[in-house]
Structure formats: C-alpha cells, structure tokens
Structure 1
Amino acid sequence: MPSIRRGSERGQVNLGWLNSLHTFSFGHYYDPEHMGFSVLRVINDDTVAPGMGFDTHGHRDMEIISYVLQGALEHKDSKGNHHIIPAGEVQLMSAGTGIAHSEYNYFATEPTRFLQIWIRPGSKGLSPGYAQAKIKQEGPLTPLATPGGQHGSLVIHQDASLYRLKLSEGETYTLNADNRWGYLHLVEGSAQTAEICLEPGDAMGLTAQESATVTATAPLEALWFELPPG
C-alpha cells in the first residue's frame, strides 16, 4: 500500500518574506514520522516575496535542486556563478566539499515560487558544481536530473532520477520503480488512483515492487523520483 503525505499536513513556516511548506522535517519543523524518503531529504514549497530572498549561506555534501514554478530566482555563489532561473527551468547545485550561495526573488513586484529539493549524494567530498536548463517535455514522463544526464537532463551525483510527469485530464499513467523506491509529488492538478485522490501538494511513496496507476482528473503536473531502496 503506498504511503501518502497530504499537502495540508505539511509543516509551515511564514516569515513574512517567505512562506514555506515542508514535506519533510526541516529547520524548526520537526516530525519524526517525516524525515525523508530514501535519499530524498527535502521538498520545500517556497514562496518568496518581491525583492526578498535567502542571504548568502553555506551547504556541503548535498545535491540541491530548485524547480521554479512562478517568477524567477537570482542565484549567486562562491564559485562565481550568477544566473537567473525563470519559471519552468530547473537548477542543480552540487554542494560537494562546500559552497556558499544566495537566492533572491528576481522581481520587485511579484512573488516567486519554487520547489527546493535536497538529495543526499552517493559519496561525500565531491567537487562543487552548478547547472541549469529548460527541459522540453517529451511525452508524459520527462527526465530532469539523472546519474548519466540522459536525454539532456542535468547530472546528479546519486543513483537517483527526477522526472516531470504531465498528463491531460483523463489521461492515465502507471508508475513503477521496479526494484527501487518511487516518490510522486503533485505540483498542480489532481489525480485518482485505485485507492486515493491526490491534490496539489500531496505526495505518494512507493517501495520496491509496488506500482500505482494515476488518472488525471484535471491537467496534472507532478515530480516523480526514482530512488535507491531506503
């Protein structure tokens, strides 16, 4: 039976300039029942006020993905990277041995919303790296980050893959991670499986040999993770 994480039950932090919903324990939000899923450690749904953002801070030994849903992020880091990430693009920063960066809402008059995703790397002490891309949807399931950069996806330093799932209303897709674990996070739209209805912010985890057929009950966008067994 798939495990379900309801979006309405996520941890919430509102700092005025930042409204963040935490799927897993993060910062001041702690829930021992939700510490991650396999090597997937963080999914934060962050909405940043106009002109505001995260001051320079450091990370190490983490694969950090930002998927911008609305607005644009301005990224600067200690390796000299300075980029704008508009809605629809995906960024992958390998923190490795250590990197400091800042992230700001690029716009002064509208909010920016993005998903901040952390995945533990396959090994520690890697060289820091940065990449971003606008990846065209090819069929229902399109890779955004994979170990080998398959089909133009970004390269992640872990035996894990991230895909974007897009379905039209009434369209059906079967998710199966075979001997791996799978995690579906609904971005927008809604879906029905044999057992449950999924709404935006809801997530569903599958362990090895489990599968789930989802039918979009409204135009659907979701992120699908294939992960090593936890």
Structure 2
Amino acid sequence: VGAWVGGSRATPLPVAGPQGVAEITDGFNAAYRIDSTYRMAHHGPAVANPSGYGLAPEVIDLPAGPGARAVLLNEGDLQITAFLVNHSPVEPAYGFRIDYKGRSAVISGDTVYSDNLVSVSEGADILFHEALNPEMVSAMSQAAGEAGAAPLSKVFADILDYHASPVDAARAAEAAGVERLVIYHIVPPLPSKLLYPVFLKGTGEAYDGSIDVGEDGTLYSLPVAGGLDIKRIMR
C-alpha cells in the first residue's frame, strides 16, 4: 500500500512464486481492497492510481528433480535465478541467486542443508542462509513440555527437522566457496549479542570465511568495483 500510494505506482506489484502464489496475492488484494477505496477517495487518482493497486502473481514452475533451477529474469547485466530447496512438507520451496555485473548474492529461503543450494551458490560473493540452533530449540521444547505447554513443546520439536543449523549454513558456504555468510531467519531470536557465540557454536570449524548474524536494518551492498559495504540504516 505504501509503495502504491507513496510511489504513485500505475501497475500492480509483481509477486513471483511457486504454485499457490496467486491464492496468496488474491488474499492480500481482498484484505486491503476496502482500504484502497478510502485512499483513492482521499488522495485522488493522480496519487492513488486505481490501476496500480494490489499484487500481480507470477507463477514460477521449475523442472522436476532435486537440482531444479531456472532463470526468472535476464535483463542486461541483471540475472535472477530461482532454485529448489528442501523445506518439506512445504513444497515447493525456492531460494534465489542474484547476479549483476560480476557480483552475486544468494538467498537460501527456508531449507535444510541443500546440495542444490551449494551448487547454485558456487562462486557467489555473499550467501544469506537461514538457520535454527537445534540445541537452543530443543531446550525450549523441553521447557515448554515441563511447563505443561504440550502443543508449544511439539511445535518446537517439529521445526527441528526442516531448518538448517548454523553449522549446516557454514558447511554450505564452505562447500560453495562463498566469501561471506550472513545468517538470517534466526531461530530462536537472540535478544543480546552475548548469545551470538552460543548460536554460532561450531561454525568456525566448518567455514573459513566471515560469518555475520543478520540484524534488522542492515544493508549489504556489493559495489561493481569490488568489496563489500555494510551499513546500519535502521536502529
């Protein structure tokens, strides 16, 4: 909504995803439809262009097989590739690689350790990989059970089998030969940097490169000339 009105967008925002993406975009469009009419009435069509409201689904159909990947966008120096990862029973689940003028970044999406991700990530400058610390989450599951919160205990136990551990992420980065690993989708949330060494235990033995625990509001930029710029744009 903010990009539509604030940017006076004239066409719906494209949203690319696997089968099922249309159901999601249709739901958001329906949820905000009434709100959109208020904005059109208040700001007028020059600002809240009726033709620009909402989301437009674009279905990504990858070929079958564990090594599935496909180029989604190839415009000039920019190429975006989608690839299959393993987040079963969430199927299909995709990661993405972005290449621009010789620089490259990979986003894992939700996944366990994935050979396909390693293959696609080879030679990338930076890998953003999700991670869940199994020791921490197992302790949370046990504590929830002891407190009588059986459903929550089961949820904590269940999520152990479809997320990568920090060491898994480090192994993937090492195998792919990426220069820097940024861990995101951090489970459990870490309220203090004092917990970072606990969360990352074992990663230094698995990966020789630099590892960051991703923090909200951090901007990673890959200049065409080389190097890496890291800025905190939100505190």
Larger radius of gyration: 2
TM-score bracket, shorter-length normalisation: under 0.3
Select the structure that is richer in strand: 1
In the superposition, the TM-score normalised over structure 1's length comes to 0.28
Select the structure that is richer in helix: 2
Structure number with the bigger relative contact order (C-alpha 8 A, sep ≥ 6) is: 1
In the superposition, the TM-score normalised over structure 2's length comes to 0.27
